[in-house]
Amino acid sequence: MAKTLMVVDDSATMRKIITRTIRKAGLSVADEILEAGDGGEALEKIKSNPVDIVLCDINMPGMNGLEFVKQARQDPANANTKIIMISTESADDLIEGVKADGADGYVTKPFTPETIQKELSPFM
């Protein structure tokens, strides 16, 4: 069954790139991929439209990706939602920290369709 996805990034261009890359990677995802411009909007949207996988930027105005992960994991309704971070940040301690807070994966920008496919495949 196709997975439902949400892409969270303050840049509409980057949301478009991520969505296009997911389609290119040939993964089985629902026709509609939801979008949000920051963590707060994402939390609101997944309350009414739960998704299987969230791909979330870290550096965003408003609620950033690190805070989103913490708040999303406090709600038991999101227990089965996989959260993959997508960021230009590549420091090991940051990646380990956000995974300890509840992120399930991490992709560094710039990325290729192969990178996205590799990171998402275990959750498909």
Partner 1 sequence: MAIAQESLSQALLEGTREVFETMMFMTVEQSNEMYEGIDGEALLGSITFEGVIEGCLGICTSIDSARMIAGNMTGNDDLDTLSSVEIADAMGEVANMVMGAIKGRLVESGDDIHVSIPTVVRGTELQNSLGDDAQEITETVSLDDSIARLTLLYRFPE
Type of residue found at 118:
K
Residue pair 59/87 in contact (Cβ under 8 Å)? The answer is yes
- Comparing CB distances to partner 1, the nearer of 16 and 47 is 16
Q: Is 26 in the site for partner 1 (CB under 8 A)?
A: no
Contact 78, 44 (CB under 8 A): no
CB of 9 to partner 1, least distance (A): 9
One of 28, 32, 48, 91 touching partner 1 (CB under 8 A): 91
d(C-alpha 6, C-alpha 15), whole Å: 10
Residue 97 binding partner 1, by CB under 8 A? no
Tell me how crowded residue 28 is: count the other CB atoms within 10 A of its CB: 8
Q: How far is the CB of 62 from partner 1 (least distance, A)?
A: 10
Site for partner 1 in 51-90 (CB under 8 A): 59-61, 87-90
**Residue 108, φ and ψ in degrees, nearest 5:** -95, 135
Does position 110 bind partner 1 by CB under 8 A?
yes
- Give 83's strand partners: 54
Residue numbers at the binding site for partner 1 (CB under 8 A): 10-14, 16-17, 20, 59-61, 87-91, 108-112
